[in-house]
Structure 1
Amino acid sequence: MNRFMEVLENILMPIAEKLNNNRHLTALRDGFLIALPLIIFGSILVVIANFPFLDQLIGEDAYAAYQAALGPASASTLSIMGLFVIIGIGYKLTASYGVEALYGGVVALAGFIILTPQTFEGVEGVIPTSTLGAEGMFVGILTAFLAAELYRYFVQKNLTIKMPAGVPEAVSRSFSALIPIALTLSVFLAIRILFSLTPFDSAQNFIYTVLQEPLTALGSGLPATIIAVLMIQIFWFFGLHGQILVNSVFDPIWYALNEQNLSAFQAGEELPNVVTKQFIDTFIVGMGGSGMTLAIVLWLFMLARSKQAKQLGKVGGPPGFFNVNEPIIFGLPIIMNPLILIPWLVAPVVIAVITYVTMSIGLVPKPAGIIVPWTTPIFLSGFLATGNAWQGAVLQLFNLAVVFIIWFPFLRILDRQYFRNEVEAEKETTNADNKQKSG
């Protein structure tokens, strides 16, 4: 076991360190976080607009008017989430170079608009919202990276207009950004012209056909999902935030799949994907945090004998209910603890398979594309993520029981170790006290 851990550490630690320190992956992660409040707002309104049985209570006409009134909330947030992510990535990446970050976000958005076809069903000057959401996500991410890099390069090469002293700072900044922005957007205009001369016609079509479609198909499958889940667990085992590291790579895929499901859910069509952002966040991470440690909290609270384990169950319970599990990860501990490596790796994979199978065969509805805040407690999150379906909550309860069973023997061994150590410590304390009294 020690040799195996040593090999894993030698292989994974350098990779994890590079991923964690990579400015582009960090900007990608932070770009999604900037968009998250807007995405959650739109998702909440989708839930409110699709309350179960509401059409039967108020009538179909009133229900249609009700949905039409709330529809703009999701249309102006979820349907165009790519725009917010682009601005966020451009802003964060530019800021990492110490350059004026706001212009980095703005030029990224402008570069994306230049590359986006502005024709819809023969009408000029119209941008279809599909290209601003999931379909255009990959182009947006690549555009934001390139735009921020070009802009900061031109700025750092001092290709700027220097205004004389006494000019207001806001005016001076605008003129300083003029040449770098003009050069950056000229590059994107040239790219658009070049793609118009190819069979793909646009960068959007090229990226979607060559890159996004194959990656999305790969990311929607169970094997890739299992690999992602395992990597999250392994990184956490070595003390690295696995969720952040893995999400930096998989989030563009999972969010694109999420958006496809949301569009189908709102249109009343069959949901195309099982694996989405909410598949991971709600049915794996959303049960106490990474590793589904709510089951561990319950075991410690109900069955532990040692004082240490009982106290940890009490401390880890309240935050664990809201999917914050640092007390368990560092207090059990999980990090670098060979005794719990097996359940730590096995349980999430088993749950991923169970969840995938039950949704694939229709026993439980697929995630509806509704972004549920990651702190939403278990059962409520499962209900909301599946489009207000009770089966989602029941599946979470079943999964929790499975995780509890998998962890049971390992936690019992760990608890016995703690209990023996406490008994021995008490004996040593008693003996020391007796010696002092006799002396």
Structure 2
Amino acid sequence: MENSKFMQFMERFFLPIADKLNNNRYLGALRDGFMVALPIIIFGSIFVVIANIPFLDQLLSEDAYNAYKDALGPASAATLSIMGMFVIVGIAYKLTAYYGGDAIYGGVTALASFLILTPQVLEDVTGVIPTSSLGAEGLFLGILTAFISTELFRFFVKKNWMIKMPPGVPEAVSRSFSSLIPISFTLSIFLLIRILFSITPFETIQNFIYSVIQEPITALGSGLPAAIIAVLLIQVFWFFGLHGQIIVNSIMDPIWMTLSLENYEAYQAGEERLHIVNNQFIDTFIVGMGGSGMTMAVILGLFIIAKSRQLKQLGKIGGPPSVFNVNEPIIFGLPIILNPLVLIPWLLAPVIITIVTYFSMSIGLVPVSTGVHVPWTTPIFIGGMLTTNSIAGGIMQLVNLVIVTLIWIPFLKLLDKRYFSEELAGASKEIAAGKDKG
């Protein structure tokens, strides 16, 4: 009865909020925009790993090692260091497409708007854009610019302030001229914004955004409490059949990605990496262990304790995909969705692992993430090593796997006992039915 009341309460008050977040056009564009940039980010991350192979500096001479790093450096400098540009284009492209507009023009307008706002001065040299403005420091402003420029572009198009070309003009030419006025008006507004900020004490909108908005929000998102809340929400959404990671990451990714980029810049400079909680912390040590909820531990538990045919078969089916962090067989086969028997370990285990991993990194047992992006399908242990550039990261994943398995086993025993009893009862009925026929 209590379970029923709890479920009714959650469905009445929680699910409507989750649905709104999941269907919000801005959060959707934000999520999809990062997905557009993801292949480029992963490419750069792979070469960061290759350029920083452990102990390579001890195997090569100093000159050979520096030449090796210099040769591979452009791969990350042209991708990870300026990832904000790719994210801006992706967000504006997806949001413009959502509105049914000319998506490519929405994307390039957002990028041009962002570059107009970006100071082109570096150490008194004009005409030069510092890459930091196109990376971590500029990411938050880039996201806001993508949203605002797309809305302005759409507004001018809806007003029909466009140049109409006569029939017979090639489509590419017609589209270009049709977008001329909306793009010009949009860029002019951003130019005016730049001019207005130049006469304030902040001098640039970057300084205003970073000091007044981004820095406080980033500091909030880098703490353990925020990580625990985010992980809990991911699990709760999944329990009700909603993709929790997509919903929560849509909100938290701008913060976590900024923290990752700052770690990456510190790593490249040989400085201390300050942010324990970041994109890789969540993806590698929480999600990257069989999928959301670390369901590889569930499969391991099934192999250890399962007596029922249903759970034994589920372990065999779900095992191979879980190696690559695909966990739909477990989510829907155990099942986890709306199953009160697994609610406690489903919510509890990721929170405990978040705390254990955080304190392991805070006391120096495990290095903090280098900021490189490891593909989400990377198997356990390998993912931990690549993320931290240390074998300790892989060991941390294995320790987490053991902890989660121990948490799950008592609840899996209850579930297995129920399924096993049902199978025995079913088998008894079949035997009885066979005797009656005989």
Query: The TM-score by the shorter chain falls in which range?
Result: over 0.9
Please name the residue that 1:223 is paired with. Answer: 225
Distance between the aligned counterparts of 1:409 and 1:302, measured in 2? 12
Q: How does 1:6-45 map to 2 (within 5 A)?
A: 6-45=8-47
Q: How does 1:177-188 map to 2 (within 5 A)?
A: 177-188=179-190
Please name the residue that 1:260 is paired with. Answer: 262
Please name the residue that 1:397 is paired with. Answer: 398
Distance between the aligned counterparts of 2:434 and 2:212, measured in 1? 75
Q: Deviations over 1:291-339 (max 9, x none)?
A: 0000101111232000000000001001111000011000000000001
The letter for the 1-side match of 2:91 is I
The letter for the 2-side match of 1:425 is G
C-alpha displacement at 1:80, in angstroms? 0.1
What are the ranges of 5 or more consecutive residues in structure 2 without an aligned counterpart? none
Q: How does 1:115-264 map to 2 (within 5 A)?
A: 115-264=117-266
Please name the residue that 1:105 is paired with. Answer: 107
Root-mean-square deviation (Å): 0.8
- Structure 1 stretches of 4+ with a deviation exceeding 4 A read none
The letter for the 2-side match of 1:421 is E
Distance between the aligned counterparts of 2:365 and 2:62, measured in 1? 28
Please name the residue that 2:431 is paired with. Answer: 430
- Secondary structure class of the residue paired with 1:364: coil
Please name the residue that 2:375 is paired with. Answer: 373
C-alpha displacement at 1:8, in angstroms? 2.2
C-alpha displacement at 1:40, in angstroms? 0.3
Q: Deviations over 1:225-260 (max 9, x none)?
A: 000000000000000000000000000000000001
Distance between the aligned counterparts of 1:112 and 1:70, measured in 2? 28
Identity %: 67
Distance between the aligned counterparts of 1:392 and 1:137, measured in 2? 27
TM-score by length of 2: 0.99
Q: Deviations over 1:88-122 (max 9, x none)?
A: 00100000000000000000000000111111111
Distance between the aligned counterparts of 2:421 and 2:335, measured in 1? 17
Contact 2:305 2:409 in 1 (8 A): no
Which is further off, 193-202 or 410-419?
A: 193-202
Distance between the aligned counterparts of 2:225 and 2:58, measured in 1? 41
- Secondary structure class of the residue paired with 2:79: coil
C-alpha displacement at 1:344, in angstroms? 0.3
Distance between the aligned counterparts of 1:56 and 1:339, measured in 2? 53
C-alpha displacement at 1:9, in angstroms? 2.3
Please name the residue that 1:301 is paired with. Answer: 303
Distance between the aligned counterparts of 2:186 and 2:80, measured in 1? 28
Q: How does 1:279-318 map to 2 (within 5 A)?
A: 279-318=281-320
Contact 2:291 2:325 in 1 (8 A): yes
Distance between the aligned counterparts of 1:324 and 1:305, measured in 2? 24
Please name the residue that 1:414 is paired with. Answer: 415
C-alpha displacement at 1:406, in angstroms? 0.4
Distance between the aligned counterparts of 2:311 and 2:281, measured in 1? 31
The letter for the 2-side match of 1:285 is V
Match of 2:339 among 332, 337, 340: 337
What are the ranges of 5 or more consecutive residues in structure 1 without an aligned counterpart? none
Distance between the aligned counterparts of 1:202 and 1:15, measured in 2? 37
C-alpha displacement at 1:125, in angstroms? 1.1
Contact 2:161 2:182 in 1 (8 A): yes
C-alpha displacement at 1:193, in angstroms? 1.0
Distance between the aligned counterparts of 2:4 and 2:383, measured in 1? 38
Distance between the aligned counterparts of 2:392 and 2:82, measured in 1? 30
Contact 2:289 2:397 in 1 (8 A): yes
C-alpha displacement at 1:4, in angstroms? 2.2
C-alpha displacement at 1:56, in angstroms? 1.2
Distance between the aligned counterparts of 2:295 and 2:211, measured in 1? 40
The letter for the 2-side match of 1:392 is G
Please name the residue that 1:70 is paired with. Answer: 72
The letter for the 1-side match of 2:427 is E
- Secondary structure class of the residue paired with 1:226: helix
Q: Deviations over 1:170-228 (max 9, x none)?
A: 10000000001011111111111111111111111111111110010001000000000
Please name the residue that 1:269 is paired with. Answer: 271
What is the count of residue pairs matched by the alignment?
436
The letter for the 2-side match of 1:394 is I
C-alpha displacement at 1:433, in angstroms? 1.8
Contact 2:25 2:95 in 1 (8 A): yes
- Secondary structure class of the residue paired with 1:135: helix
Distance between the aligned counterparts of 2:101 and 2:155, measured in 1? 10
Q: Deviations over 1:111-169 (max 9, x none)?
A: 00011111111111111100100100010000000011111111122111110011111
- Secondary structure class of the residue paired with 1:30: helix
